[in-house]
Amino acid sequence: MDRERNYQKVLKARRMLDELDEDCQVLKDVVLINGEWVILLNLRNKGKVTSDFSEWTSWYVMLGMNYPEDDITFYPLKKGGISAVYPHQSPHQLFEESLPFFASNPCLEQYHPGLISQKYDIDKLYQYVVQSLEWIKRASQGDLLAEGDHFELVAYPSSTDTKVIFSEDKLSFTRWKNSEEKVGFCNIKSGSISKNQHRKIFYITDFYFGKNSYKKENKQIKLVKWGNYVVSEKTQEQRGIWLKLKEMPRLEPWEAPKNWGELISILKESKIDFKKDIFPILDEMRDGLTHYMVLGFPIPKIVGSPNIEYFWQALTLPVLSNVRTPAKQFKGFRKNELGYRTVDKKFLFSKNKKITWVKSENWSPSSLISRGGVTEEINQLNYLVIGVGSLGSAITELMVRAGVTKLDIIDPDILKMGNLVRHKLLASDINYTKASKMQERLSNSNIHYTGKSFTENIEDYLRKNPKALSKYDVIIETTGDDKVLNSISSIDSNVKMFSISIGLDAKHLYVYSENNRNIDMEMFVTKINPFLKMDSTDFQPNLHPRDGIGCWHPLFPARIDHVEILAGIAVNIIEEDISCNKNFITVVERGQLGSTAIVVRDEML
């Protein structure tokens, strides 16, 4: 019954194509193949007729069984379709060669994001065909990537979940641009994302130039300062090889090189000679292990604009010949440098030997927070957070996930089961100090996070390190304890200070920002006292025991969702007060359905 109902939907969608009869011909009507509805179409090229784009091109169109909810994919037929790969199109070579079509589906959703809204419309097929006609037209004219469009990398096909990760930004771009070096070693740390997963992540940590340069400081070009997660947990190291190219390696119009013959020809355009420049480096890697080569090239953000960063595309090097290589491969040669190179050139780097590309991604701080983070001005500061209970743990995690990487935490408390009701930590963290486990959690939240934890109270910390506060730009205390503020204010420092707390039931958020030398807690308490009384009228003290110290301690009764709403607002206040370089007493009131309102925002002059 469901199949028949779906078939009727597909037939209705197919009949809509009759309206496009001048530009769309049905070569083979709808049929069910391997759980997919399939239809073969001839689509008119309304652009430029070329050797690859005739007036009509043939396409194998797959509709999911549950049309229109499922995806639609267009694949060019090997006979009558298009043979080249263009921008906004996946590579050819990942499907079985026996299939009648190339595995190179145009990404019509990326090319025209409005198609996503067509997900549940019966005319979805019609809309996709219309957009395919436009894609064919622009592809034939060579303007799929027009000036002003977002730049798109060539699709380097990879069949594994392995990833090579690098960190590049505008600053490192200038360093590479001014360097004349073209080849060298890189150091790579590796490890599983999870102990229960086989997927591997490889982090590039260092670049060195020239032969015999691996891990030699005087040959180092660049050091990537990854955070605690990479430095502490990724222990396995291996050497790789890097090449710096003038531009992105590709075949016309927009396809990755498929074999070593094609790549070696492209390297020559960057004046890199495989025999002269690369083999001397490879000779240092004949250990019988798998290694990676990364190709670096400059890219822009917008087509037609200047380049702004380097991208490192990785590939897997074949295991190089060595003393354990079967002797029969060395006909007429000994197992020496000349013999190894001869064997490798013949068997590993021959003209038609396929390249194994590896997924590569830029995980620089700027690229990771581009989806949503605090400003660069804010995330470059040094922070100290005192107290990582319910409110403190929420604030620190929000800040670190938003891009803050230098944030130390102090808290002597041990995590208890009752804390889990509204804390960021987990049951596996019980009986450990909150500070140490929060540092571990933050390290896993941002791979660039380099913060430290201190499992003692602030008084002991300052007693051991009287000048410790001088290295911080901002201190955030969330304890609600007068003694904490008194200890901090007794230290002569010019740090920006935030005291953040919430009232009973998280009805109010209280934020006091001030220069450390000017802290006036009496005035702060006077300002917020009316709201504290307002909170207390809703509660009977004997029914709500208080774990904390002080009259507005964050361990008062409060739900986690309410705490996190106010924690998010606190982060916004921190960012605003730092950016405008002003000090305020701020009170935020939580209303119904998670709504909030600022009821006090008094500047401290």
pLDDT in tens, 566-586: 999 999 999 999 999 999 999
**CA distance linking residue 318 with residue 514, whole number of Å:** 60
What pLDDT was estimated at residue 541? Answer: 55
Instruction: Answer whether residue 1 shows pLDDT above 60.
Output: no
Q: Residues 407-418: pLDDT tens digits?
A: 999 999 999 998
* Confidence band, pLDDT 50/70/90 cuts, at residue 549: very low
pLDDT tens column, 256-285: 999 999 999 999 999 999 999 999 999 999
Q: For residue 199, is pLDDT > 90?
A: no
More confident residue, 296 or 212: 296
Residue range 34-40: mean pLDDT, rounded: 92
Tokens of 85: 């790969």
The SS3 call for residue 501 is strand
pLDDT of residue 556: 60
* pLDDT at residue 295, as a whole number: 98
Strands 291-300 and 383-386: unpaired
Band of the pLDDT at 6, cuts 50, 70, 90?
confident
Cα torsion 173, 178, 182, 186: sign: negative
Residue in this structure with the two tokens 């319910």, named with its chain if needed? 390
**Is residue 552 pLDDT above 70, yes or no?**
no
- Residue 319 DSSP one-character state: P
pLDDT digits (tens, 9 = 90+) for 121-133: 789 999 999 999 9
The Cα 233–Cα 193 span in angstroms is 10
Tokens of 558: 């409060």
pLDDT class for 551, splitting at 50, 70, 90? very low
What average pLDDT does the segment 200-211 reach?
Answer: 93
Report which of residues 553 and 240 the model is more confident about: 240
Q: What is the pLDDT of residues 423-442, one digit of tens each?
A: 999 999 999 999 999 999 99
3-state secondary structure of 85: coil
Terminal Cα distance for the chain, rounded: 74
Question: Residue 212, CB half-sphere, CA atoms under 13 Å: how many?
Answer: 0
Q: What proportion of the chain, given as a percentage, has pLDDT over 90?
A: 67
Q: Is 125 helix (H, G, I), strand (E, B) or coil?
A: helix
Q: Are strands 291-300 and 307-317 parallel, antiparallel or unpaired?
A: antiparallel
In the predicted model, what is the mean pLDDT of the chain? 89
Please name the residue ranges forming H helices in 78-123. 108-111
The pLDDT score that the predictor gives to residue 43 is: 97
Give the global pTM: 0.89
Determine the pLDDT at residue 439: 97
Mean local confidence (pLDDT), 221-234: 86
Q: Are 173 and 309 in contact (CB under 8 A)?
A: yes
Of the chain, the percentage scoring pLDDT greater than 70 comes to 92
